[in-house]
Structure 1
Amino acid sequence: MLTTQELPDCFYLNHPILICPKGPTPKHSLYLSNLDDQKFLRFTIKYLYLFKKSISSDALKCSLSKVLVDYYPLAGRLRTSPENDQKLEVDCNGEGAVFAEAFMDFTADEFLELSRKPNRSWRKLLYRPIEAHSFLDIPPLVVQITNLRCGGMILCTAINHCLCDGIGTSQFLHAWAHLTTKPTADLQVTPFHDRHVLKLPNPPQIIFPHPEFYKTTPTDGLRLDLNEFLQSQTLVPASLTFTHSNILHLKRQCVPSLKCTTFDVLASHTWRSWVKSLDLSPSLNVKLLFSVNVRQRLEPQIPQGYYGNGFVLGCAEATVNEVVTANLHKGVKLVQHAKSSLSDDYVKSIVDLLEDKTVKPDLSASLVISQWSKLGLEDLDFGEGKPLHMGPLTSDIYCLFLPVIGDIDAVRVLVSVPESMVNKFEYYMKDFTINEEKGEINGHCGEENGLK
């Protein structure tokens, strides 16, 4: 049994190298849409995969070189636009992706013991270019493979969020895996690069209010930057796995009067648990922000294979009192209304609003949820089997809905909260209240029925 959660150091046998596209690629500047280059997304999406058996580094490097011919912008470099220093673009110069190879005196089984809750020592599993002093200095794609003592392997990737959203990163990773297992095959999905599909005619037409970006004026003068408070605290990850049974237990609180998805009910439940844990003023306005794929919501629809950012934030809003005292049915209706509001015109209004580069989401009193559980990320197979674990490299105050390896119907909720509230948050997440015709039953669901 492990006595510490800290990972040992990585040993780099060689200096990291640049993997360039195997063949010639277009050399040009790639326009980024307003959804791509918003300041909210100026970070890298960091995935961590644990495999029982390592994959040949030569095979991974060869297939990465091949897939970068099709996904050539990921081999380029971000820069500011010559016309507007607030706007970003990609210099598609074929400079290459960073590939690092390391060894760690650790086993896959030992890592699995720690895998539910990331900690800061995991960061050593992803190489950070020494010369990178700012976001723009980090290449759009950085990869590290870490071979383990048992013959297993950890694969970490950092993919610039300005180039890809979750759907796009999954599309790219599956393309890479496909060419690793079938080197001569064609890609199953052809990437669509052009971001002008989200460039709208001038002048901007902002025809809706956008509470996801603007602070709501409080009726009692109460203002609190909850995000600033949370960032000032010692944060620890809370990780809870909801089985199919747990999710049905939640859904029963919303039927037969309301049909809802797993996301609807779990987002509502997580929001309510989070708000209850913070002991906030009952009159404070709080928001739930969550990513919504809009590829099929726009007219014309975004082409298949588009791997850029094709999502916007849905926004549910209520007072603390409304969130904590209402039943789950009420929260689900707020989530569903937020999703249904994202019409073609509304999304285009967001795109136009983001022409102003000072606009950013209102995080002052918001829980942000990103769903990774329906992207197929857990199915990645480079030829030695699917991963034993898939998740983020780090935990943040943004909440992730993660896939559960081996259980397609389960969802793992991961979010970092202040150390002082983690027990309370986990208690509320596990405390299900069901109203039934025969009366009210309060049940604290724990390990015995699958919630961990």
Structure 2
Amino acid sequence: MTADTKKSAEIPDCEYHPNSPSLITPHRSTPTHSLYLSNLDDQKFLRFSIKYLYLYEKGVCVESLKLSLSRILTEYYPLAGRLRASASSTTHESSDYQKLEVDCNGEGALFAEAYLDLSVVEFLEFCGKPNKSWRKLLYKVDALCFLDVPPLVVQVTNLRCGGMILCTAINHCLCDGIGTSQFLNAWAHITSNPNSDPPIQPFHDRHVLKPRTPSKVTFSHPVFTNFTPKMGENGHFALNKYLQSQPLVATSITFSPSQILKLKSKITPSQKCTTFEALASHTWQAWVKSLNLSHLLNVKLLFSVNIRKRVKPELPQGYYGNGFVLGCAETTVKDLVTNNLCHGVKLVQQAKLCLNDDCIRSMIDMLEDKKVRTDLSVTLVISQWSKLSLEDLDFGSGKPSHMGPIASDIYCLFLPVAKDPESVRVLVSLPPKTAEKFEFYMTQFLECDQNIELNGYHDNGDRLTY
């Protein structure tokens, strides 16, 4: 495995096209109605846009991209609409507690064109990790609030060498990772095959995940809390708020197929596991070690679990809304860092196993209470972008040389590696000194005997030191 130590460089400002941005509307008339969003769609936790960055060695004609986007928006017409508070929300409610819906009005997606005085090689060489200057590659919408931003924003930036950077912002309330991949690959398919239809027809109706009447919250759901803990309140430590209050740096570590096998060999044959389970357990353990937390603290790992085939009946093919819930593994710091990887893997597997139809329906019912929040107090959140075919996006000029987010966050991403489908890149942002420790535990842990390393931990009062 390798830690990406390339120095991140500030990129130049983009030169925007004179008529940029413009609105791309569906090329045919589309249904005009209000689209119901499920309780999984309009969680406070998901009220942001998923921002993707694609780097191509060869650009694609902008006019053909606009034309194909107009065509695909006829099929995915809610992405050409606008979010709003539903009629069922009362005017005195805080915007955080209002139920959202989509006004399918065909207003259009925002499309910006720009030029950047860089080559593909220079971008890859000097921008090994996301940095704040990458935000220049996506047009910033002048909006007063989240609801005023179009659900789909696109920027195509042509490069000096003839290459292209494509950035998209897709509102998470409308799509999950599988849904965004479905949409983007449909757009790419139409661009490179103008006379064809989308490979998968989108399924729009979200009522298949509507809460029951009356609600039946029959499970405990450790993913959620109905209050926001403050630093030190009731024994809680709001770690994520603490991390976000200081400068952060991105840390990026790539695992090759052979290194993933070596990681899994630490767990098997005593315990079978998937690549995700092994890597999630390893990342969680390294993250907790690097933060030097009190060994008495409970720590959580939240990770996305696709529920399309877990609910009864199964979600229809083409469902592009939020068809996932968060699995929750929980343990103490001491148990996580002093046990081997099998401990974390077992917790992840148990968290996945309990997510059957009854548990998922109970979770959906619980989310009728808009005061319920995802518990992020002392929590690592992992979102898996690998295995979604996001790296296969081909508009006719070849697959991307790089695919990833526009920015790095304290939430951890498992990313695909362009042209290397079996590798996984782990990306997360941490304070500089913590990031160094995290990279050490991620990259050096497998180089030494596990028992020796774990025996190197000492219990000093309420903290474990190495």
Deviations 1:136-175 (A, max 9, x none): 0000000000000010000000000000000000000000
Aligned to 1:413: 426
Is 1:374 the counterpart of 2:379? The answer is no
Correspondent of 1:118 among 127, 130, 134 = 130
Take 1:241 and 1:3, find their aligned partners in 2: how far apart are those partners?
16
How far apart are 1:228 and its partner, in Å?
Answer: 1.2
Is 1:68 the counterpart of 2:73? The answer is yes
Take 2:348 and 2:111, find their aligned partners in 1: how far apart are those partners?
41
Take 2:84 and 2:116, find their aligned partners in 1: how far apart are those partners?
35
How far apart are 1:361 and its partner, in Å?
Answer: 0.7
Return the letter of the residue paired with 1:112. Answer: L
Is 1:48 the counterpart of 2:53? The answer is yes
| Structure 2 CA distance for partners of 1:126 and 1:300, relative to 1, 3 Å | same
Aligned to 2:119: 107
Take 2:267 and 2:171, find their aligned partners in 1: how far apart are those partners?
38
Give the share of equivalent positions with the same residue, in percent: 64
Aligned to 2:377: 364
Return the letter of the residue paired with 2:419. Answer: G
| Structure 2 CA distance for partners of 1:387 and 1:232, relative to 1, 3 Å | same
Correspondent of 1:304 among 304, 317, 321 = 317
Take 2:312 and 2:298, find their aligned partners in 1: how far apart are those partners?
33
How far apart are 1:200 and its partner, in Å?
Answer: 2.8
Aligned to 2:191: 180
| Structure 2 CA distance for partners of 1:357 and 1:221, relative to 1, 3 Å | closer
Take 1:361 and 1:200, find their aligned partners in 2: how far apart are those partners?
18
Aligned to 2:16: 12
Take 2:248 and 2:23, find their aligned partners in 1: how far apart are those partners?
35
How far apart are 1:115 and its partner, in Å?
Answer: 4.2
Return the letter of the residue paired with 1:98. Answer: L
How far apart are 1:433 and its partner, in Å?
Answer: 4.5
How far apart are 1:60 and its partner, in Å?
Answer: 0.1
Aligned to 1:89: 101
Is 1:339 the counterpart of 2:352? The answer is yes
Is 1:214 the counterpart of 2:219? The answer is no
Aligned to 1:432: 445
Partner SS state of residue 427, structure 1? helix
Take 1:434 and 1:318, find their aligned partners in 2: how far apart are those partners?
26
| Structure 2 CA distance for partners of 1:125 and 1:402, relative to 1, 3 Å | same
Is 1:198 the counterpart of 2:209? The answer is yes
Partner SS state of residue 199, structure 2? coil
Deviations 1:369-388 (A, max 9, x none): 00000100000000000000
Take 1:266 and 1:192, find their aligned partners in 2: how far apart are those partners?
32
Deviations 1:272-330 (A, max 9, x none): 00000011100000000000000000000000000000000000000000111010011
Residues 59 and 162, structure 2, Cα contact 8 Å, conserved in 1: yes
What is the Cα-based RMSD across aligned positions, in Å?
1.9
Q: How many residues align?
A: 437
Residues 165 and 307, structure 1, Cα contact 8 Å, conserved in 2: yes
Residues 434 and 441, structure 1, Cα contact 8 Å, conserved in 2: no
TM-score by length of 2: 0.91
Residues 286 and 320, structure 1, Cα contact 8 Å, conserved in 2: yes
| Structure 2 CA distance for partners of 1:114 and 1:338, relative to 1, 3 Å | farther
Correspondent of 2:139 among 115, 127, 147 = 127
Return the letter of the residue paired with 1:199. Answer: K
Aligned to 1:383: 396
How far apart are 1:75 and its partner, in Å?
Answer: 0.3
How far apart are 1:441 and its partner, in Å?
Answer: 7.0
Correspondent of 2:31 among 12, 26, 29 = 26
Deviations 1:76-100 (A, max 9, x none): 0000012115100000000000000
Gaps of 5+ in 1: 444-452
Residues 250 and 432, structure 1, Cα contact 8 Å, conserved in 2: no
Partner SS state of residue 49, structure 1? strand
Partner SS state of residue 409, structure 1? coil
How far apart are 1:222 and its partner, in Å?
Answer: 3.2
| Structure 2 CA distance for partners of 1:435 and 1:50, relative to 1, 3 Å | closer
Equivalences for 1:290-301 in 2 at 5 Å? 290-301=303-314
Take 1:34 and 1:441, find their aligned partners in 2: how far apart are those partners?
47
Residues 414 and 424, structure 2, Cα contact 8 Å, conserved in 1: yes
Aligned to 2:42: 37
Take 1:305 and 1:222, find their aligned partners in 2: how far apart are those partners?
44
Return the letter of the residue paired with 2:36. Answer: Y
Equivalences for 1:209-358 in 2 at 5 Å? 209-214=220-225, 222-358=235-371
Residues 434 and 442, structure 1, Cα contact 8 Å, conserved in 2: no
Aligned to 2:3: none
Is 1:423 the counterpart of 2:461? The answer is no
Return the letter of the residue paired with 1:13. Answer: H
Residues 226 and 373, structure 2, Cα contact 8 Å, conserved in 1: no
Take 1:425 and 1:434, find their aligned partners in 2: how far apart are those partners?
15
Take 1:360 and 1:285, find their aligned partners in 2: how far apart are those partners?
18
Equivalences for 1:135-174 in 2 at 5 Å? 135-174=146-185
Partner SS state of residue 47, structure 1? strand
| Structure 2 CA distance for partners of 1:221 and 1:11, relative to 1, 3 Å | closer
Aligned to 1:447: none
Deviations 1:324-383 (A, max 9, x none): 101001110001101111011000011001111111110000000000001000000000
| Structure 2 CA distance for partners of 1:214 and 1:65, relative to 1, 3 Å | same
TM-score by length of 1: 0.94
How far apart are 1:249 and its partner, in Å?
Answer: 1.1
Take 1:229 and 1:442, find their aligned partners in 2: how far apart are those partners?
29
How far apart are 1:431 and its partner, in Å?
Answer: 2.0
Take 1:187 and 1:402, find their aligned partners in 2: how far apart are those partners?
25
Residues 151 and 169, structure 2, Cα contact 8 Å, conserved in 1: yes
Correspondent of 1:400 among 413, 423, 428 = 413
Return the letter of the residue paired with 1:293. Answer: N
